[in-house]
Structure 1
Amino acid sequence: MIEGVRNVLRIKGAIDRFIHAPQTEIALVTLILISVVLVVFEVVLETRGLTTRWVNHIQAGLTSIFILELSCRYWVARKKRRFWRNYWLDVLAVMPMITAFRLLRLLRILRLLRAGILLNRSLGRLSSAIATSLGLQIGVFMVIGLIVLTSGLATYLFEAPHNPSLNSLRDSMWWSFLSLVAGEPVGGDPQTDIGRVIALVVMMGGLTTFAVFTGVVSAVMMRKLETFMDFKALEIDELRDHIVICGWNRGGHLIVEELLADGAMNRCAVVIVAEATDEPSQALSHLNQSQLYFYPEDYTKIDILETIGINYASRAILLADATHPRTDQDRDARTVLAALTIEKLNPSIYTCAQLLDRRNDVQLKLAGVDDVIVTEEVSSHLIATSARNQGSVEALAELLTVQSGNQIYEVPMPPTWVGKEYWALAQHLKQQSDALLLAIESIKQGERITQVNPPASLILSIEDRLVVIAQQVPRL
């Protein structure tokens, strides 16, 4: 029974990753555009009395693909109401029975809105700055194009047999665009009742568009459209492989800045959970907000951790929370409690915890926390090292930031170097990648062992990981 549930969850996870993969979304955009082009062909051929059988067959195949896609999205959605809220237009556009009605077949064009959202999300993966600046423009032009295309096709479909001034698709499209801009029918008056209704809809759309561009109702319209077209389309609990930061203190903004400055992690979403405070959002207001999620709740509660998707997160950072006046013991106790809960919910997650008292380290190690940092110890050691050497702070500071100079990286052992000596690999790294091999890290009997500056004759094994100093991740 339990194994069956696990298999179902595994399948759901695989389907969820597939439908949200960039390649899948680009393919969906392409299929949606093909479907819209086929709608245009269908209207033109039918109006001219030509056969549309081949168009209907291709459209039926595309509709089957869209139905399968939406069915998969519904199956993997953890909140079904949110699915209907986000995809009701898409469901309406792919309903098979709409093909029985001439006008309702144009509803398939509504999926252009979904194409715009997917396109904006893809831009966000390439460059969050581009997506932030172009997201609103994409939304506005997508709505305008949707109005012009839908009303132009509908006008041509119903007016062409009765209205000489609108008997071609080009004239109908041009009439639709001019009527949208002018706010009144331009280039011919509709002769049918359906045509007059279409003209009314276009004129109302034109008035709304004019209001958006002139700023009369921009405060409302732009905000709604920006929210709808936001490339950060996933809700917090739908994130995957994201970073969770529990708690907040004065050093929190430096941690987020370092994470987003790392080239390998700057596309990861960062969820900050801090109890009833807006300090994180204020401290990080100078950063790109597209990858930051703020959740003002108590991170020691199981339901809160599940809501932020801790089961699917790749990393968790627990800070000594300073958002409320508490003793050091209470702050460490909250860190320990949150760590125990996180490791229980997601044993495979990497967890790093900040403590104020080293004596609380035992509970975290037993819970399976990967790294524990006692802030005062680290800062005291840095001060003592600087005093002993009368310097060296600059070298240490450079290694501890990714924003300049050299950094510390951990890379897996290349299979070709297994069984060889440490010194041979150290020389190879320096010559080929200008990197220094600082330490060897290995797991023995479930315990992580780090050998800094190991003996030159140390024999390397496949389980070892290399700790190196370099300006970028070395390629081995």
Structure 2
Amino acid sequence: MKAKKKSGKADIEFSQPKKTPLLVRFMLWIKHIPASDIFRILAGFAFIFLVLVVIIFVSEANSNSRINNFFDAFWYSLVTITTVGYGDITPSTLLGRLAGIILLLFGVVAFAGVSGKIASVFFDRQIKKDRGLIRLEKIKNHFLICGWKPNFDRILLGIISANPDIPIDHIVLINNASPENMDIIKTDKRFKGLIYLFGDYTDEATLLRANVKYAERALILSDYSQNSSPMEIDSRTVLAVLTIGSLNSRIYTAAELIDSKFRQHLSLAHCDEIILSTDYERSILVSASSGTGLSHVLRELITEKSGEGLIIKDIPFEFIGKTYREYRRSLSGGRVLIGLLENTGNFYSRRKEALHEAQKNPNIRQIVNNLKKIKRLKSNEPILTPPDEYIIKPNSRGIFVSGRKRTDFTLDGTALDDSQILNEEGGSDDR
């Protein structure tokens, strides 16, 4: 219906808004219901359903229909509301048939709305997961990898290979790299199960979404996802270590720096491992210029293959407090012990243990000396080739070198193992 209003020479038409159909309005209402209210809505539907069952039972009690008891009324209502409609039982009274019509319409609307809402919830959850917008609440003892850099997929493969004890669904990536860069990771079957969170890893809210309070380890890479200068990248790395440490003091943190001048900041933040990638690269180039072949040695020592190169292994408990000689003589096999790694693990955990031990001594002067030692405590401190009488301290691990298995061939193509190669070499020396 339209009404016209004259104002001078112009005619302005006003049209009344069209009413939205009841079914459409109900569907829109269902769509905007929070997921937490679904159970209350289902309870309301159940109440209305039971009311209609009672109406049908009462109206058909004295009729000639086949609805003879409450269960018959319930059965008819159930097959009607689910739009199955067997037709074996039907009401004969007007009130019963009207209730049946209401049940039929109510069933179509209710099931369409509820199923649409459930599908919407799962669809939204999948979209959030793909975009890295989910919140982790149940995961614990997981590994956080913060930042993105070129060849990120190769870095991830190396991390997975070097940490076979960590399930792949306990590795969480946090960065704000472009979707194109992250799609390479998400579509690669080798990384199936990895968890991805989009966001700034220096932001507390993002880290809380990653459940950082219950994480076991964190690796902060030099982040090249944005067009930032090296100073800005290192500043974000320091900020990330500080933020993660403030949220979880028990987490083991390792961070990569471009410029070594930021190392002092990470040391003050008690970062457990500091990787100076640029300095390492420069040192290798300098050593290569002297023609010593050191770069090949380092390549063999720092390998991604498990069980080869430099290896850090736990020291059996019975050798804690014993001498370095005793531990070295107990070893057998192809690995060579070259030193100890002291104060391994999280810095705050080691300091707490050291404080507890320092306070056990009844001598005040000795307590003061112990506290001074704690102040100088360094996490993951390597002691290379210590003297034989050196006492192995608690929380120490062994540093080993393990070479690759050599395979040579005879003139007829037969492979020789290591022992045969050594025998051949020994025989040639004798000759």
1:330 corresponds in structure 2 to: 232
1:253 corresponds in structure 2 to: 153
- Give the one of 166, 185, 203 matched to 2:85: 185
| Gaps in structure 1 of 5+ consecutive residues | 1-83, 107-150, 472-476
Is the alpha carbon distance of 1:164 and 1:324 closer, same or farther for their aligned partners in structure 2, counting shifts above 3 Å? same
1:362 Cα deviation (Å)? Answer: 1.2
Contact 1:175 1:185 survives alignment (8 Å): no
Contact 1:156 1:167 survives alignment (8 Å): no
Q: Distance in 2 between matches of 1:156 and 1:409?
A: 76
Note if 1:460 corresponds to 2:360: no
User: Whose relative contact order is higher, 1 or 2, with alpha carbons under 8 Å and at least 6 apart?
Assistant: 2
Partner AA of 2:199 in structure 1: P
Is the alpha carbon distance of 1:102 and 1:311 closer, same or farther for their aligned partners in structure 2, counting shifts above 3 Å? closer
Is the alpha carbon distance of 1:294 and 1:302 closer, same or farther for their aligned partners in structure 2, counting shifts above 3 Å? closer
Superposition pairs of residues 9-408 of structure 1, within 5 angstroms: 85=34, 87-89=36-38, 103-104=46-47, 164=66, 183-189=83-89, 191=91, 192=96, 197-200=102-105, 202=107, 224-227=121-124, 235-236=134-135, 238=137, 240-261=140-161, 262-266=163-167, 267-274=169-176, 277-278=178-179, 280-285=181-186, 286-287=188-189, 288=191, 290-297=193-200, 299-306=201-208, 308-381=210-283, 384=287, 388=293, 391-392=296-297, 395-396=300-301, 399-401=303-305, 406=308
SS across alignment from 2:170: coil
Partner AA of 1:362 in structure 2: Q
Quick check: 285-294 or 160-169, which moved more? 160-169
Contact 1:271 1:308 survives alignment (8 Å): no
1:455 Cα deviation (Å)? Answer: 4.5
Aligned pair count reads 319
Quick check: 258-267 or 377-386, which moved more? 377-386
Is the alpha carbon distance of 1:336 and 1:419 closer, same or farther for their aligned partners in structure 2, counting shifts above 3 Å? closer
1:318 Cα deviation (Å)? Answer: 2.1
Is the alpha carbon distance of 1:430 and 1:88 closer, same or farther for their aligned partners in structure 2, counting shifts above 3 Å? farther
Quick check: 263-272 or 154-163, which moved more? 154-163
Q: Distance in 2 between matches of 1:360 and 1:236?
A: 32
Q: Distance in 1 between matches of 2:78 and 2:230?
A: 68
Is the alpha carbon distance of 1:394 and 1:319 closer, same or farther for their aligned partners in structure 2, counting shifts above 3 Å? closer
Contact 1:353 1:372 survives alignment (8 Å): yes
Q: Distance in 2 between matches of 1:174 and 1:413?
A: 73
SS across alignment from 1:460: coil
1:294 Cα deviation (Å)? Answer: 2.3
Partner AA of 1:265 in structure 2: I
Superposition pairs of residues 406-417 of structure 1, within 5 angstroms: 406=308, 410=312, 412-417=314-319
1:354 Cα deviation (Å)? Answer: 1.0
Is the alpha carbon distance of 1:187 and 1:354 closer, same or farther for their aligned partners in structure 2, counting shifts above 3 Å? same
Q: Distance in 2 between matches of 1:421 and 1:453?
A: 13
Q: Distance in 2 between matches of 1:268 and 1:409?
A: 23
1:361 Cα deviation (Å)? Answer: 1.0
- Give the one of 404, 412, 420 matched to 2:322: 420
Contact 1:300 1:338 survives alignment (8 Å): yes
1:110 corresponds in structure 2 to: none
Contact 2:80 2:100 survives alignment (8 Å): no
Contact 1:243 1:268 survives alignment (8 Å): yes
Partner AA of 1:283 in structure 2: I
| Gaps in structure 2 of 5+ consecutive residues | 1-32, 344-372, 404-431
Is the alpha carbon distance of 1:359 and 1:179 closer, same or farther for their aligned partners in structure 2, counting shifts above 3 Å? same
Q: Distance in 1 between matches of 2:386 and 2:181?
A: 41
Partner AA of 1:248 in structure 2: W
* Deviation digits for residues 305-333 of structure 1 (CA, Å, limit 9, x no counterpart): 45544444333322222223233223222
Contact 1:236 1:293 survives alignment (8 Å): no
More helix by share: 1
Partner AA of 1:344 in structure 2: S
- Give the one of 367, 378, 393 matched to 1:447: 378
Identity of aligned residues (%): 19
* Deviation digits for residues 375-403 of structure 1 (CA, Å, limit 9, x no counterpart): 13334555647961584566335x4355x
Q: Distance in 2 between matches of 1:401 and 1:283?
A: 24
Quick check: 304-313 or 243-252, which moved more? 304-313
The structure whose Rg is larger is 2
Is the alpha carbon distance of 1:380 and 1:409 closer, same or farther for their aligned partners in structure 2, counting shifts above 3 Å? same
* Deviation digits for residues 332-351 of structure 1 (CA, Å, limit 9, x no counterpart): 22322333333334333222
